[in-house]
Chain A
Amino acid sequence: MTEPIVEAAGVTKSFGAVEALRDVSVSMTDRAIGLLGANGAGKSTLMRVMLGLVRPDAGSIRVLGLDAARQSWDVHRRLGYMPEHDCLPLGMTAADFVVHMAELRGLPHRTAVLRGSEVLFHVGLEEERSRLISTFSVGMRQRTNLAQAIVHSPRLVILDEPTNGLDPAGRDEMLHLVRRLSTELGISVIMSSHVLEDIARTCESVVVLREGQVAVTRPIETEGRDAPVSLHVRVSGEIAAFTAAIGRRGASVEDAGEDVLVISGPEPGGLPDAVRDAAAESGAGLREMRPAGPSLEDSLLEAMT
C-alpha cells in the first residue's frame, strides 16, 4: 500500500468563534491532490496546518510520514510552498530570490545558483531572471513563486490557489506547469482551488471541503475520464428511426421525456460511436450527447454547497 503523503486525524482548528476545521480526517495518497471548496471552506487553514504554521486545537497531521507539528523542521526541508497571496520581495531579482530560498532550505551556494537557474528556465523566466520582481506582471510573479517552491527538489509542493489573478493564457500556462510537476518531475502536489476545472486538469484525486469538514474524497480519473456507461442523448427529426437504429447496435433506449433518450449499451467504450452511427443512418439530428447521471462537476458542486 502506498504511504500517504498527508494523513490527518481529527484535525480541529478554531480562530476565536470561527471553527475553520472540524474533525478533519483524510488520507491523501495520490501524486496530485486537489483541495476544492468555496472561499472560507478551510482549504488554506488545512494547508497551514500541514506546513506547521498553525497548530491544530485537536487531532494530528502527518506529512510525508512526519508529524507536522513536532517535526516541522524535517517537514519543511521536504516541502515547497506557494502561498496564495503576494509574498515576494519586490526589491530583489527573481534569480537572487530563488537562490536565496534554496540556500535557506539547505542547498550549498553553488548548487543553489545552479538549481535557481534551472527552475527559472523550467517556469519560463530564463530571460527575466535578472529583473527586479517589482517590475514583473502577476503571471511572472506567480511563476517566480512556483520556482522558489520547487528549487530545492521537494518531495511535496503545496500550492495555494496558484491561478489566482491570472489571465486565461497565464492560467493555462500555470496549470500546465503544475501538471508537469507530478507527471514529469516526480514531485507530489497538493493544490487548492475553488475552480473545479483547475483541479480536474491537474490532479488525480480531489478532497472537497465544506464549512471546515471533508465533504467528499474521490478520484478524478474514474469520474471524469473513463467511458460513460450510459448517455443522455437529445435528437431531432427521425426519432423512431434513430431508436430502431440504436437498438440494432445492441443498446437499450429509455425515453426520459422532452426529447431526451437515455441510452445504455453492453460495451460502454463504443457507446458514443454507436450513437453517432445510428444518427447518421437514421437521418436524425444529434443535438446533445453527454454522460448520463451526475457529472463530476454536478456531484462536486453538490458536495460543496
Chain B
Amino acid sequence: MSTETRVHDVRFTRFEGELDGEGAAIISLARWSALRSMGARRSWKVKLIPIALTLIAFAPAIVVLGLRALFSTRVQINIETALPYRDYAGMIGLVITLFAAVTTPELLCPDRRDRVLTLYFSTALTRGQYVFGKVLAAIVPLLLLTLVPMWFLYAGNVLFAVHPVGYVQDHAADALRITVSGIALAAWFGLVGLAVASLTGRRAFAVGGYLALITVPTIIGGTLASATGTFKLELLGFPVAPLNLVEALYPDYQADLSPAWWVGDYFLVVAASLALVIWRYRTVDV
C-alpha cells in the first residue's frame, strides 16, 4: 500500500475536449429560452399563467374524454360530434393568443433590456443563429397548446373506438391535418409575437402591442365586412387567418371566402413577421 499522499487542485482545469457544433448552440439557446418563457427556475407567479393556459387548452379534450370514460354505459357520447377536430383550435383560439402574448416577449425583451446580446453575438452565436433559436423557442412551447391537446384527443378517440386499428386507418388524414394545423398555428402566433417583441425591450409594451395587434384588426375586419357585405374585407382581420386556414384543412369547409385567400393572408403575415425579426436583429446595435 502506498503511503504517499498528494493533493491535486482540480478546481480549475482547462477543457480539452471537443466542442459541440453550431446546431447544439442553437438548440441550447432555444431550450433555455423556452424553459424560461414558461417560468422554469423562476417564481411560481411567473409559472402560473403559462401552466394555467396550457391546462385550459387541454380542458375540452379532458372533459369530453372524461365524460366518455365515466358515463359511457349510461349516455352515448359521440366524441367526434361533441368535439370535432376542426373546431378545437377555434375553441382555444383565445387561450393560444394569451399564451403567445405572455411567452414570446419573454424570449426577446429581457435580452435587449439587459444588453445580453453583446455577449451572445461576440463569442457565442451569429445573429441568424440567435433568431433561429428564438423562433424555435417561440414555436415549440406553443405546440403544447396547438398540437398536443389535439393529439391527446385523437389518442382518446383511438382508445375508445370499437376497433382502434380501424379508427387509425380511417382517420389517418385527420392525424396529418392535426399535425399540420398545430404547427401552422404555433408558427403564426409565435412569429407574430416575436415580431412585436423585437420592437421593444419593455415586456409590458410587447404584451400590450401583441394583444392590440390581434384584437383590433379582427374587430375592424369583421365589422367592416358585415357592414358592407364585402367579405374580402374580412382579410383585414388577419389574426383570424390561421384559424380559418385550419378549418379549411378539413372536409366540408364552408365560408364566404375561398381558402386560397386565407392561405395567402397566412403566409403574408408569417413572412412579414419573420422578415421584421430578421431585420431587427441584423441591424440591432450591440
Q: Which of A71-121 contact B (CB under 8 A)?
A: 72-73, 76-77, 79-81, 83, 85-93, 96, 100-101, 103-109, 111, 115, 118-119, 121
In angstroms, how far is the closest chain A Cβ from the Cβ of B33? 10
A48 to B14, CA, bound (A): 26
- Contact across chains for A53 and B41 when beta carbons are under 8 A apart: no
Whether A85 touches B115, Cβ cut-off 8 Å, given contacts A76-B123, A105-B25, is: yes
A77 to B25, CA, bound (A): 11
Q: Which of A81, A122, A186 contacts B119 (CB 8 A)?
A: A81
What chain B residues lie within 8 Å of A149 (beta carbons)? Answer: 123
User: Is A252 part of the binding interface, using a Cβ–Cβ cutoff of 8 Å?
Assistant: no
Q: Which of B12, B41, B42 contacts A119 (CB 8 A)?
A: B12
How does the 8 Å CB contact mask read for B111-149 relative to A, with 1 for contact and 0 for none? 100111011111111100000000000000000000000
A52 to B12, CA, bound (A): 28
Total chain B interface residues with beta-carbon distance under 8 A: 34
User: Is A185 part of the binding interface, using a Cβ–Cβ cutoff of 8 Å?
Assistant: yes
In angstroms, how far is the closest chain B Cβ from the Cβ of A5? 16
User: Is A208 part of the binding interface, using a Cβ–Cβ cutoff of 8 Å?
Assistant: no
In the complex formed, the residue of A with least CB distance to B121 is A53
In angstroms, how far is the closest chain A Cβ from the Cβ of B2? 28
How does the 8 Å CB contact mask read for B1-24 relative to A, with 1 for contact and 0 for none? 000000000011111110111101
- Contact across chains for A51 and B122 when beta carbons are under 8 A apart: yes
What chain B residues lie within 8 Å of A153 (beta carbons)? Answer: 14-16
- Contact across chains for B114 and A89 when beta carbons are under 8 A apart: yes
In the complex formed, the residue of B with least CB distance to A84 is B118
What chain A residues lie within 8 Å of B111 (beta carbons)? Answer: 89
A153 to B15, CA, bound (A): 6
What chain B residues lie within 8 Å of A119 (beta carbons)? Answer: 12
A207 to B16, CA, bound (A): 31
- Contact across chains for A111 and B12 when beta carbons are under 8 A apart: no
In the complex formed, the residue of A with least CB distance to B14 is A153
Whether A81 touches B123, Cβ cut-off 8 Å, given contacts A88-B116, A153-B15, is: yes
In the complex formed, the residue of B with least CB distance to A88 is B114
Q: Which of B83-120 contact A (CB under 8 A)?
A: 110-111, 114-116, 118-120
User: Is B286 part of the binding interface, using a Cβ–Cβ cutoff of 8 Å?
Assistant: yes
- Contact across chains for B15 and A100 when beta carbons are under 8 A apart: no
A118 to B9, CA, bound (A): 11
User: Is A148 part of the binding interface, using a Cβ–Cβ cutoff of 8 Å?
Assistant: yes
- Contact across chains for B125 and A87 when beta carbons are under 8 A apart: no
In angstroms, how far is the closest chain A Cβ from the Cβ of B252? 48
Interface of B, secondary structure class, is loop
- Contact across chains for A53 and B286 when beta carbons are under 8 A apart: yes
User: Is A234 part of the binding interface, using a Cβ–Cβ cutoff of 8 Å?
Assistant: no
In angstroms, how far is the closest chain A Cβ from the Cβ of B31? 9
User: Is A143 part of the binding interface, using a Cβ–Cβ cutoff of 8 Å?
Assistant: no
- Contact across chains for B124 and A101 when beta carbons are under 8 A apart: yes
User: Is A43 part of the binding interface, using a Cβ–Cβ cutoff of 8 Å?
Assistant: no
Whether A111 touches B17, Cβ cut-off 8 Å, given contacts A104-B25, A106-B24, A122-B12, is: yes
In angstroms, how far is the closest chain A Cβ from the Cβ of B181? 33
User: Is B241 part of the binding interface, using a Cβ–Cβ cutoff of 8 Å?
Assistant: no
Q: Which of A147-164 contact B (CB under 8 A)?
A: 148-149, 152-154
- Contact across chains for A104 and B42 when beta carbons are under 8 A apart: no
Considering residues A51, A73, A100, A154, which has the most beta carbons from chain B within 10 angstroms of its beta carbon? A100
User: Is B253 part of the binding interface, using a Cβ–Cβ cutoff of 8 Å?
Assistant: no
In the complex formed, the residue of A with least CB distance to B106 is A91
User: Is B152 part of the binding interface, using a Cβ–Cβ cutoff of 8 Å?
Assistant: no
- Contact across chains for B118 and A83 when beta carbons are under 8 A apart: yes
Q: Which of B19, B25, B42 contacts A91 (CB 8 A)?
A: B42
- Contact across chains for A89 and B12 when beta carbons are under 8 A apart: no
In angstroms, how far is the closest chain A Cβ from the Cβ of B35? 10
Q: Which of A48, A86, A96, A100 contacts B115 (CB 8 A)?
A: A86
User: Is B28 part of the binding interface, using a Cβ–Cβ cutoff of 8 Å?
Assistant: yes
Whether A53 touches B29, Cβ cut-off 8 Å, given contacts A111-B17, A118-B11, A186-B14, is: no
What chain A residues lie within 8 Å of B22 (beta carbons)? Answer: 73
User: Is B279 part of the binding interface, using a Cβ–Cβ cutoff of 8 Å?
Assistant: no
What chain B residues lie within 8 Å of A93 (beta carbons)? Answer: 41
A118 to B14, CA, bound (A): 10
- Contact across chains for B122 and A76 when beta carbons are under 8 A apart: yes
Q: Which of A31-69 contact B (CB under 8 A)?
A: 48, 51-53
B interface residues (Cβ-Cβ under 8 A, vs A) = 11-17, 19-22, 24-25, 28-29, 32, 36, 41-42, 110-111, 114-116, 118-126, 286
Apart from A53-B118, A90-B110, A121-B11: 6 A-B pairs, beta carbons within 8 A: A77-B19, A83-B122, A101-B124, A107-B20, A148-B119, A149-B123
| Selected A-B contacts with CB under 8 Å, 26 pairs | A51-B123, A53-B121, A53-B286, A73-B126, A79-B122, A80-B123, A81-B122, A83-B122, A86-B115, A87-B115, A87-B116, A87-B118, A91-B36, A93-B41, A100-B32, A103-B24, A104-B25, A104-B120, A104-B125, A106-B20, A106-B24, A107-B20, A108-B20, A149-B123, A152-B15, A186-B14
A interface residues (Cβ-Cβ under 8 A, vs B) = 48, 51-53, 72-73, 76-77, 79-81, 83, 85-93, 96, 100-101, 103-109, 111, 115, 118-119, 121-122, 148-149, 152-154, 185-186
